[in-house]
Structure 1
Amino acid sequence: MMNQIRDILSKAKLEVIENEKFLSLIIQNVPTGLIILDDNNNVKHTNRAVTKLLGLPVFTHLNQLRIINQDFPDMFRELKAGDNNKQIKILNEKEEKEVSLSVSSIKIKSGTLRIITLYSIDDALEAKEMESWVKLIRVMTHEIMNSIAPITSLTDTLLYSYKQDSSDPQILKDTTIEALSIINSTAIGLTSFVESYRRFSGVAKPSRTPIRLFTFINSLLMLEDAELRSKNIDVILNCDSEDLMVFADSSQLSQVIVNLLKNAIEALNNTEHRKIEISIVSREDKTQINIANNGDPIPPEVLENIFIPFFTTKENGSGIGLSVSRYIMRLHGGNLKHSFENGWTIFTLSLLNDNSNLAS
């Protein structure tokens, strides 16, 4: 009987060990980051999604969060069960991410454990943002075009009246010409505004073909060579391999890169030793193109709006360059992000290596 009891206990222990391994495997592979803290705020367990989100090779203590943000260790210690959908920004060496936090707790024999979940909401936020902007643009385009029609009609009516009525020629002429001038000026402005909307909302679905990036970017630099030389700007192009290929719409990708190059050139106007560095880096699932300049950084009050359509600080700017560029990258299943490191303003284009994964 004792032997039977021993066998039962041994079997039960093996089942517990197997269940622990199974649960540990699940935890490690879920896309949501998990941090488990004990009563003393010691990190008892984390998974791979956490280290990926935080950009840390290992994460064993809350104080390590100071690398990302000085306030994070204290903030995580003060989190309580029920704190849900708290949003924070995590800036690591690669990019900035919007992360949602939720906290729950469980009591066990040794004390209370807090379970903090971290979930990146960048993709969801950006997709929703772009969808909202496109809908708004379509509606406003329709309304503005309806406004232009009566203006054009009024112009025709005034011109006809001017030709027919000669009872008071000078007054009629002065009044009518002034009215026509105002109407035409308004019509031109509205037409230009509508065209900007159309350019943003009318970006076609990418027609992707293989592109040898090093050669492709070199050809784009040749287009800007005259301006780069006239402004004494040094350009450095680094690539993991000159044979590196991506699948993209060459016309749309050139539009994005040329726009970023022009922005970089403008940012260097007040800089003495002007430099632009372009690096092409291949990773497991994506290829990154980093376009960096050592010019003046983007002011904080401007930075949060740079990807919003029609926001501009330039006197003659349309405000759609960066928003269209990000939209194009999203259509490719990639992204466009800004960062600032060691005096360099960097715009990073990400393209998925899998040519079958396109945004619908």
Structure 2
Amino acid sequence: MAKDRKVHEEETQEEAPIYGDILETVLSHVPLIDLVSASQVSRSWSGAVSSSLRHLKRIKPWLIVHTQSTRPPYATTAHAYDPRSGDWIQIHHQPPTDHVSALRSSHSTLSYMLSPSKFAFSSDPLRLTWHVVDAPLVWRTDPIVAEVGDSVVVAGGACDYEDDPLSVEVYDRRNGEWSACQSMPAMLKDSAASTSLSVAVHGGKMYVAEKCSGLTHSFDPNSKAWRGPYDLRPDQGVFCLVIESAGGNLIAVGVVGSPESIKTVKMWKFSGESLEDVEVVGEMPEEMVEKLKGESSYVPSVNVVARGSFVFIHNPSEPEEVIQCDIGNGRCRWGSVRNAVVNDTTRMQRMVVGCSDVAMVDLRKAMLMDDSLRFAAKHLE
């Protein structure tokens, strides 16, 4: 009898539910994509998930990487890197196929495809929801595109036979109409394509910087007017400057030296009416600079995407390594992660990199909207 009671007590202990601080600690080690199902176990588990994310291991912006074949039918793959768990995730979902063309992105939070007849764009955190509208009136091959509030700005990159290579058009998402605006500043005439310009959206404006000079202009979709130029190159040794919005500020990442011999990589933040207030955010550690260079040690340009306090930097020529920097709380915490998307096949494809705030509600909504959507952990080979 006593033996049976002891066995029963042991079984009861083994089946005792996990709750409280222990459960929250366990959940802090669970990837975000798996916390969606964990939050649906019970009300107490849902509360534990929320508490764990709030107090133990907060959600961090995701790096979104698309690769696309350069030939029809332009097969596209999507992956994401979650700094919170350190996991790469494959997203099994295809963008719209009715009007597929080259997938592009001018800044962190917007991807787009442009053909002579249609313009498709997505600012969805996971790039799952796409809007397909009529193309702008001016045919463009390599414009800069940015979403500012309810407006999608398409500027420059016009074909040679167009009258104005600097023309600007704005698509109003509220009424579904395009409108012509003041053209880009004349001094950008020789660099009015996305390959020569860097774009950031900050404070309700689109900022456009010439990568080689750092000269920057701003465009306000409400007034449809340009302002500037502003000189965002504090260090004259910078040969490539890329702007973004991070940590509540307009920031610039500058590569110092030359493409053949990088000395360092610095980051600044700007404020003030004319961006006259400049402050150094941080300088990339030497070991990170070496990883950024890659095997060839030739870096003609860098790609920068950012969201929240996270900044991701990589070398488009050798994207095997991604440098990350968390600039929150007045500190600059550097790190690096191997790009799990890069292999012999994807090196020959188009790679589009973005950054998104991905919350639990976004994952839950995505799973409800598309039954075929699947997330799978991507293991490094």
TM-score w.r.t. length of structure 2: 0.26
Higher share of residues assigned strand: 2
- Highest RCO, 1 vs 2 (Cα 8 Å, sep ≥ 6): 2
TM-score w.r.t. length of structure 1: 0.27
Which of these two proteins has the greater Rg computed from alpha carbons?
Answer: 1
